[in-house]
Amino acid sequence: MLFKFPNAEKSPGDYMHEGILYCGHCKTPKSCRIEGIPALLPIFCKCSKESYQRMDEEMKRQRELAKIEKLKQGLHGAIYHKFVFEKDVRPDSNASLVSRGYVSNWEKMKEGNIGIMFSGDVGTGKTFYAACIANEIIEKYKNSVLMISVSEIINADISVKDELFEKISAVSLLILDDVGAERRTSYGYEQFENIINLRDLSGKPLVITTNLSIAEIRKPPDIAYSRAYDRIDRMCPQKLVLTGTSFRKRIAEQKRRKAMEILGEDCI
Ligand SMILES: Nc1ncnc2c1ncn2[C@@H]1O[C@H](COP(=O)(O)OP(=O)(O)OP(=O)(O)O)[C@@H](O)[C@H]1O
Ligand SMILES: [Mg+2]
Ligand SMILES: [Zn+2]
Q: What is the CATH number of the domain that holds 226?
A: 3.40.50.300
Distance from the alpha carbon of residue 124 to the mean position of ligand 2, in angstroms = 8
State whether 155 and 231 are in the same domain. yes
141 within some domain: yes
Task: Round to whole Å and give the CA distance between 87 and 94.
Answer: 16
**pLDDT for 185:** 87
Q: Helix, strand, or coil here: 246?
A: coil
- Examine the fold and report which residue of 67, 90, 108 is the final residue of a domain before the chain moves on: 67
Question: For residues 103 and 136, is the Cβ–Cβ distance under 8 A?
Answer: yes
What is the position in ligand 1's atom list of the atom closest to the CA of 118? 21
Question: For residues 177 and 127, is the Cβ–Cβ distance under 8 A?
Answer: yes
Ligand 1 site residues, Cβ closer than 6 angstroms: 87-90, 122-128, 178, 209, 211, 247-248
- Any bridge partners for residue 31, and if so which? 42
Ligand closest to Cα of 48 equals 3
**pLDDT for 154:** 93
Distance from the alpha carbon of residue 126 to the mean position of ligand 2, in angstroms = 6
State whether 169 and 210 are in the same domain. yes
State whether 118 and 245 are in the same domain. yes
1 within some domain: no
State whether 114 and 237 are in the same domain. yes
- Examine the fold and report which residue of 67, 102, 127 is the final residue of a domain before the chain moves on: 67
State whether 87 and 20 are in the same domain. no
Q: What is the pTM of this model?
A: 0.85
State whether 57 and 161 are in the same domain. no
Q: How many CA atoms lie within 13 A of 160 on its CB side?
A: 7
Q: What is the pLDDT along the chain (268 residues), one digit of tens a residue?
A: 445 556 667 889 999 999 899 999 999 999 998 888 888 899 999 999 999 999 999 999 999 999 999 999 999 999 999 999 999 999 999 999 999 999 999 999 999 999 999 999 999 999 999 999 999 999 999 999 999 999 999 999 989 999 999 999 999 999 999 999 888 888 889 999 999 999 999 999 999 999 999 999 999 888 888 999 999 999 999 999 999 888 787 778 888 888 888 888 766 5
Q: Which of the listed residues 133, 136, 241, 247 should we mutate to test ligand 1's pocket, taking the one with most ligand atoms within 8 A of CB? A: 247
**pLDDT for 268:** 57
Count of the separate structural domains present in the chain: 2
Tell me the C-alpha to C-alpha distance, in Å, between residue 83 and each of 117, 131, 227: 18, 6, 32
What is the position in ligand 1's atom list of the atom closest to the CA of 250? 12
Distance from the alpha carbon of residue 24 to the mean position of ligand 1, in angstroms = 60
**pLDDT for 186:** 87
What range does the domain containing 182 cover? Answer: 75-250
**pLDDT for 2:** 47
State whether 82 and 52 are in the same domain. no
State whether 55 and 85 are in the same domain. no
Q: Which of the listed residues 82, 85, 128 should we mutate to test ligand 1's pocket, taking the one with most ligand atoms within 8 A of CB? A: 128
**pLDDT for 1:** 46
